[in-house]
Amino acid sequence: MSDSKEVGVEVGSVANALQAQASVQIDKVTRLEVRFEAPGVESKRLYANGRMQVRVWVFVEAQDADGNAVSLPYFPDLVSARLIEYHTGKPLQQDVYTGRPLQGWNSSHVENKYSHEVPGWGLSSLVSDRLSAFRQAPLVFWVSSSVVGQTQVAVEVTLQGKVYRSNNTTNPGGTKINNSVVLHAEKKATYAVEQFRWESEQLKVGDAFNSFSLYHLGLYLGSRQVELFSWESTRYNPDDRYPIEFCRVRPNSLAWAIKYFTGVLPSATQKSVRVNLPGGQYDIEVHKRSGELSLVNGFSSRLGGNFQTRNEVFPFTVIDEYGNDHALSIEIDEHNLKFNLRRG
């Protein structure tokens, strides 16, 4: 799954827009509004994990000297806008999410894949505004934070070389606009390891010598599922490449006919993963359960060739639908030939 959603922009005719504005002189800004989608909502919560985003709308409207509305299509050459901190006027950082948490308070034009509502906030059902109902489509910003705390967000726009702000400071023409929203970034949610569901499923794949099982990892808060989007680990993985063979063991228990035991962690985007066992290669389907991730456990009654044993505790991080990361680890139980889930 891509970290960023596709963004569609109706470009229209840039040349015509530039020509139209060049012939019209903006006399004043009549509307400079920062808001959320749901009417009447002045504050929102998000997790301070550098991934979760809140959508902020900005509306800009202007008039010429005769009181006629001036069309302000959003092209960088016509209208430039950025979100600012209300009290200081300092711009929010404008980095693009590329898979790693963004630092500080950030404002992007690109939406990522994580949920935009803190669970229990319940605002999504209140959103009734349609973009088609507005005379002017809003500029859309996606705000995230990696720091716990609160910020008040206003906007700064530049029109025909003049800078207008909505943080109650004096604008061209001597007017003041006082309009902003408040964002509360709270500590990321953490869960006990018992709240993660860790289940083994025997697969009907293999032959007389080789067999497989899947370990499914899920997160459930009572009856409510929190979807798991991805996982990552640097153990045995200096180049950030997947899959990771995190277990290679020749069991020492005489009670088992198994002579080779392995574990493979695929990337969260893989549909299947190739597992090597003595005498063959097998493509195993993974991540079959919605909102859960899975890894492969392989068994062989054949002796493997020379290999470097990997039987240490394997740490990894899983990231949920809200962008919160959780440190977990896998304990390799050689005696019972199974994997145990532990805290990272």
pLDDT tens digits, one per residue of 213-249? 999 999 999 999 999 999 999 999 999 999 999 999 9
**Is residue 45 predicted with pLDDT exceeding 80?**
yes
What token pair was written down for 30?
Answer: 């009549």
- The whole-number pLDDT of residue 313 equals 97
Residue 7 has pLDDT above 50, yes or no: no
For residues 50-59, give the mean pLDDT.
Answer: 96
- Write down the pTM of the prediction: 0.85
Quickly state the pLDDT bin for 22 (edges 50, 70, 90). low
In one letter, which amino acid is 96? V
Residue 2 has pLDDT above 80, yes or no: no
Write out the E strands in 226-310.
Answer: 228-232, 244-249, 260-265, 272-277, 280-285, 293-300
Alpha-carbon dihedral sign for residues 231, 237, 241, 242: negative
Between the alpha carbon of residue 8 and those of residues 5, 141, 188, the distances in Å are: 10, 14, 31
In this prediction, residue 208 carries a pLDDT of: 84
Confidence of residue 257 (pLDDT cuts 50, 70, 90): confident
- Mean model confidence pLDDT for the chain: 87
Summarize the confidence of residues 298-314 as an average pLDDT: 90
Is pLDDT at 10 greater than 70 in this prediction?
no
